[in-house]
């Protein structure tokens, strides 16, 4: 191979748009786990559909120049070269690429002029029932979107199914409508997870009312902490969607804004559910404390009644047990049986009195 050919082979493919600024060297964040990278693409319009897994990213250059809608989906962020090459092809801002790799961001929306950058967080339930969140990054361009997933878990299979079926609205709309469909899919996944919180609250209610244990308070506090965290997350998502709805940008058509308002309604529903769950958790804890107090009072009341019943009996027994030379009736043959009968009568009389007063 000649020197000129070798130099040409090492030169990266030209950027898609003029004036692109290289992002420089990307770097990983500390204490984060990155999964293997896989890139798939769906390129479609009303009449055609191309779907495949990409092994050569330079294919995206030609796809992105077509008048069709191009959706590049990246699962796993382990391969920095792939992410940086996609940034070159689609002119993704360097700050957006850095935020893609930092998977601890709260939901937000950034406008970089030629593209919109959206960070969302999806909910997932672990094997042990714990609820965690994962970051999904979306880059919206004029004729394309690029999505980045923190892990290999992908919540957008339903959207792909609609595209494969040739649904008129999604196949004949632009990438802004596809962004709406993805945001709607993420928000729809919140409701089954939140329903599990409702079931957990019902189980705790039964436990609080029937047989509360020492772990009940800890479980209530853990649940309340998770609900408060999700409520803060829902606030951030609500602000993101509200900003997107109010955004005056050519990348988002007026027709799509109507659908984005539906996602906004979903965020309000999620927030209302979390508000009600937080109030229920607070009420659960108050019920637990009240129930614990009542049970303690019952124990103290029983012990008090027992002590009160034995108080006169102890008095009689201690009276005849005094160390004096002469005690009246101490030499009487029937003295001991009469004393036992008297103490028994006193005990039953006090029990009858307590029951009549409804103290036991």
Same domain, 172 and 232: no
Same domain, 63 and 172: yes
pLDDT per residue as tens digits for the range 39-93: 999 999 888 898 999 888 888 888 877 888 999 999 988 888 899 999 988 989 9
Q: What is the pLDDT of residue 324?
A: 65
**What's the pTM value of the predicted model, to 2 decimals?**
0.74
Assign 128 a pLDDT band (cuts: 50, 70, 90).
low
Same domain, 176 and 207: no
Q: What is the pLDDT of residue 269?
A: 92
Domain with 246 in it: what CATH number? 1.20.58.340
- Asked whether residue 82 is domain-assigned, the answer is yes
Domain that holds residue 55: 10-188
At 216, list the tokens. 């009940």
Q: What is the pLDDT of residue 319?
A: 66
Domain count, the chain: 2
Same domain, 162 and 219: no
Residue from 272, 100, 267, 102 nearest 183 by CA:
267
The position carrying tokens 């030499």 is: 331
Same domain, 228 and 315: yes
Same domain, 15 and 48: yes
- Asked whether residue 343 is domain-assigned, the answer is no
* 59 and 80 Cβ atoms separated by less than 8 Å: no
Q: CA–CA distance from 94 to each of 15, 85, 145 (Å)? A: 14, 12, 16
Same domain, 170 and 245: no
Same domain, 119 and 177: yes
pLDDT higher than threshold 80 for residue 314: no
Same domain, 182 and 202: no
pLDDT higher than threshold 60 for residue 326: yes
Domain with 62 in it: what CATH number? 3.30.460.20
Same domain, 259 and 125: no
Angle between helices 254-320 and 214-246 (to 10 degrees): 160
pLDDT per residue as tens digits for the range 241-297: 999 988 887 888 888 998 999 999 999 999 999 999 889 888 888 888 887 777 777
Average pLDDT value over all residues in the chain: 81
Residue 190 CA to residue 277 CA, distance in Å, equals: 14
Q: What is the pLDDT of residue 7?
A: 41
């Amino acid at each position: 191979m000649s020197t000129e050919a070798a130099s040409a082979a090492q030169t990266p493919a030209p950027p898609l748009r003029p004036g692109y600024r290289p992002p420089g060297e990307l770097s990983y964040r500390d204490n984060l786990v990155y999964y293997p990278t896989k890139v798939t693409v769906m390129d479609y319009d009303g009449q055609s559909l191309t779907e495949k897994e990409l092994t050569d990213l330079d294919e995206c250059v030609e796809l992105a120049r077509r008048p069709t809608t191009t959706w590049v989906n990246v699962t796993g962020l382990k391969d920095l070269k792939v992410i940086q090459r996609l940034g070159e092809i689609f002119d993704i801002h360097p700050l957006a690429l850095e935020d893609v790799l930092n998977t601890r961001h709260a939901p937000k929306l950034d406008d970089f002029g030629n593209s919109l950058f959206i960070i969302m967080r999806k909910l997932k339930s672990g094997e042990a029932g714990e609820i965690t969140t994962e970051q999904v990054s979306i880059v919206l361009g004029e004729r394309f979107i690029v999505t980045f997933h923190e892990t290999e878990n992908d919540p957008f299979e339903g959207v792909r199914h609609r595209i494969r079926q040739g649904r008129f609205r999604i196949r004949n709309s632009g990438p802004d409508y596809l962004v709406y469909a993805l945001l709607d899919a993420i928000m729809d996944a919140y409701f089954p997870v939140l329903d599990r919180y409702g079931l957990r609250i019902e189980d705790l209610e039964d436990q609080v009312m029937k047989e509360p244990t020492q772990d009940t308070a800890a479980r209530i506090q853990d649940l309340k902490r998770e609900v408060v965290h999700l409520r803060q997350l829902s606030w951030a998502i609500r602000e993101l969607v509200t900003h997107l709805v109010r955004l005056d940008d050519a990348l988002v058509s007026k027709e799509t804004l109507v659908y984005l308002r539906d996602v906004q309604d979903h965020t309000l529903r999620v927030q209302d559910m979390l508000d009600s769950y937080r109030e229920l958790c607070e009420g659960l804890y108050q019920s637990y404390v009240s129930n614990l107090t009542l049970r303690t009072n019952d124990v103290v009341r029983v012990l008090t009644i027992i002590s009160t019943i034995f108080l006169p009996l102890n008095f009689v027994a201690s009276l005849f047990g005094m160390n004096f030379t002469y005690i009246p009736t101490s030499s009487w043959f029937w003295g001991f049986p009469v004393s036992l009968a008297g103490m028994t009568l006193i005990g039953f009389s006090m029990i009858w009195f307590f029951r009549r007063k409804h103290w036991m």
